């Protein structure tokens, strides 16, 4: 089974202003055309019409569409994963994991389509009762980043669809082909699903300029945007100014604390994966490490050994653990951050470009281990590359304070066997992040939990738990089945 069977053939993608280059070696994968403003306008009109029909389809039937979509993704798992590897540079196993995440969220959404629960609330008035009901919201605009070129859209799409919303997706201009392939799969499923209206799911291509039009359009009821904090700041302001709703999943600057009782093997593996996975280009990548002074020397020595043994190279090869950075500018940003750390007195191990035979056009780097006395300015920013800033700590309260001492608030973790430390970290006085883990790294979330972060990470929640509520509007309903009209709070208003 190949993706050409769903109408996707990248060898035919030879025209268009957006060139997709593989980070593996820089070769041209294909071209697509940017969506024009007029085309976007027509797609939005269609999306509003599609929403008006889709919202009347019973939610479990909407779930059936998502079930079929998930089944089609299962069928094409291998090809979709390969496309992620080619276009985003993820190693095979991580790319397959990303496709699995689509399948998982579809399964989750199918179950949820029978559980969009509201509340019944007792009334202060006789023979009255209150209800809280959830209704479909409207067209949902989804803007995604390059590093999870399929899964993040699928988190949004599967929930939005069962909630009765239509979709318009603007993927990253760095990963237009993965978006095209996945959209084709959903559109094919929609085409043979009698209740799916035309234009239920639309794809627009282009850079931020077409994204800005999507963001500003009042027909977009919810704008879900994943990307840098810079992008989120612009998007949030624009959506707020038209009183639209936004769901923001922005940059992270995640920390781990290694306490005196931490299991060393576990910590070394967790740290290395969380730094090196996706070549340090995950929003949940581990960027700051606080090691108890009693464990510091042994731990740093083991980490250096682990980093030096990482197999870096072609992500299509089965034994590779670290693939390329997305492009040259990502590599340059990494070197710039390392230079800033060095100027601030850091001791740096690794971080250099790694030559890979026959793949000279790709930018491969060994994850850098950067030892510092205390947090300096560059550690407070998210550099989207594999750089680990390492610090010593003496007291857990100080380490928690450092964990929380940056503007971002996505993910965090503590390695400990000490129950009281673990409980402190997870308490109201502990980590201030949207995600707090014990004895695993900050990266690699499951779809069952709500995913997202606080502060400059944007405050949005996607995927599991009750994240679906963001895709619906809440209505409070009061029903009077008496012959009287008592007013709330005992207010009297008698007319002749």
Catalytic site residues? 249, 283
Sign of CA dihedral 392, 398, 401, 403: positive
Q: 143 in helix, strand or coil?
A: strand
Nearest approach in angstroms of CB 151 to ligand NAD is: 9
Nearest approach in angstroms of CB 19 to ligand NAD is: 15
C-beta of 231 vs 275, nearer to ligand NAD: 231
CB 333 within 8 A of CB 385: yes
State how far the Cα of 362 lies from the Cα of 326, in Å rounded to an integer: 8
Task: Say if strands 411-415 and 435-438 run parallel, antiparallel, or are unpaired.
Answer: parallel
Nearest approach in angstroms of CB 70 to ligand NAD is: 21
State how far the Cα of 334 lies from the Cα of 351, in Å rounded to an integer: 8
Nearest approach in angstroms of CB 92 to ligand NAD is: 20
Among 86, 28, 26, which Cα is nearest to 361's? 26
DSSP structural state of residue 275? H
Q: 144 in helix, strand or coil?
A: coil
C-beta of 148 vs 290, nearer to ligand NAD: 148
Among 449, 438, 85, 100, which Cα is nearest to 278's? 85
State how far the Cα of 63 lies from the Cα of 391, in Å rounded to an integer: 48
Task: Say if strands 222-226 and 245-249 run parallel, antiparallel, or are unpaired.
Answer: parallel
C-beta of 80 vs 247, nearer to ligand NAD: 247
Distances (CA, A) of 304 to 387, 415, 438: 13, 19, 23
C-beta of 54 vs 384, nearer to ligand NAD: 384
For every residue of 363-381, DSSP letters joined together read --BPPEEEE-SS--GGGGS
Element (H, E) at 155: helix 151-162
State how far the Cα of 490 lies from the Cα of 171, in Å rounded to an integer: 54
Among 369, 327, 378, which Cα is nearest to 348's? 369
C-beta of 95 vs 152, nearer to ligand NAD: 152
Q: Which residues contact 82 (CB under 8 A, 6 or more apart)?
A: 95, 316
For every residue of 84-122, DSSP letters joined together read HHHHH---HHHHHHHHHHHHHHHHHHHHHTT----EEEE
C-beta of 150 vs 189, nearer to ligand NAD: 150
State how far the Cα of 398 lies from the Cα of 406, in Å rounded to an integer: 14
CB 90 within 8 A of CB 278: yes
C-beta of 64 vs 327, nearer to ligand NAD: 327
CA angle 77, 468, 138 (to 5 degrees): 95
C-beta of 35 vs 422, nearer to ligand NAD: 35
Nearest approach in angstroms of CB 286 to ligand NAD is: 13
Distances (CA, A) of 184 to 81, 137, 288, 488: 15, 24, 40, 53
Residues that bind ligand NAD (CB under 6 A): 143-148, 152, 170, 172-173, 207-208, 211-212, 215, 226-228, 231, 234-235, 249-252, 283, 382, 384, 410, 453, 457
Question: CB neighbours (10 Å) of residue 120?
Answer: 11
C-beta of 113 vs 246, nearer to ligand NAD: 246
For every residue of 252-269, DSSP letters joined together read --EEEEE-TT--HHHHHH
Nearest approach in angstroms of CB 10 to ligand NAD is: 20
């Amino acid at each position: 089974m190949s993706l050409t069977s769903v109408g996707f053939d990248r060898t035919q993608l030879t025209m268009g202003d957006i060139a997709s280059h593989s980070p593996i070696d820089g070769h041209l994968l294909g071209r697509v055309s940017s969506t024009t403003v007029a085309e976007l306008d027509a797609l939005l009109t269609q999306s509003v019409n599609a929403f008006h029909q889709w919202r009347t389809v019973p939610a479990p039937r909407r779930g059936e569409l998502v079930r079929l979509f998930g089944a089609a993704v299962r069928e094409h798992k291998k090809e979709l994963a390969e496309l992620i590897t080619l276009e985003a540079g993820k190693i095979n196993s991580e790319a397959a994991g990303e496709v699995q995440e689509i399948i998982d969220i579809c399964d989750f959404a199918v179950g949820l389509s029978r559980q969009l629960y509201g509340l019944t609330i007792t009334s202060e008035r006789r023979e009255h009762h209150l209800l809280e009901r959830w209704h479909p919201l409207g067209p949902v605009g989804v803007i995604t980043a390059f590093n999870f070129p399929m899964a993040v859209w699928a988190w949004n799409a599967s929930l939005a669809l069962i909630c009765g919303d239509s979709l318009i997706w603007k993927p990253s201009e760095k990963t237009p082909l993965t978006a095209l392939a996945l959209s084709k799969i959903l559109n094919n499923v929609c085409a043979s699903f009698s209740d799916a209206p035309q234009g239920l799911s639309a794809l627009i291509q282009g850079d931020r300029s077409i994204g800005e039009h999507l963001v500003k359009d009042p027909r977009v009821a919810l704008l879900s945007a994943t990307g840098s904090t810079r992008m989120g700041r612009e998007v949030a302001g624009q959506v707020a100014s038209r009183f639209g709703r936004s769901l923001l999943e922005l940059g992270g600057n995640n920390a781990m604390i290694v306490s005196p009782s931490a299991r060393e093997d576990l910590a070394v593996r967790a740290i290395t994966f969380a730094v090196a996975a996706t070549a340090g280009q995950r929003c949940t990548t581990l960027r700051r490490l606080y090691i108890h002074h009693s464990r510091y020397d042994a731990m740093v020595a083991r980490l250096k050994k682990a980093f030096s043994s990482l197999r870096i190279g072609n992500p299509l090869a089965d034994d590779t653990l670290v693939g390329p950075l997305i492009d040259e500018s990502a590599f340059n940003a990494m070197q710039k951050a390392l230079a800033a750390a060095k100027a601030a007195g850091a001791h740096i191990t690794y971080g250099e470009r790694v030559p890979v035979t026959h793949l000279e056009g790709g930018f491969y780097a060994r994850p850098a281990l950067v030892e510092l006395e205390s947090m300096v300015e560059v550690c407070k920013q998210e550099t989207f590359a594999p750089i680990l800033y390492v610090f010593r700590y003496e007291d857990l309260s100080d380490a928690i304070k450092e964990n929380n001492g940056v503007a971002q608030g996505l993910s965090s973790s503590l390695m400990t066997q000490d129950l009281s430390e673990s409980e402190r970290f997870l308490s109201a006085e502990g980590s201030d992040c949207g995600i707090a883990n014990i004895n695993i790294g900050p990266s690699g979330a499951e779809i069952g939990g709500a995913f997202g972060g606080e502060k400059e990470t944007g405050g949005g929640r996607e995927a599991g738990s009750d994240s679906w509520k963001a895709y619906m509007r809440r209505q409070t309903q009061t029903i009077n089945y008496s012959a009287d009209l008592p007013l709330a709070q005992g207010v009297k208003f008698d007319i002749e």
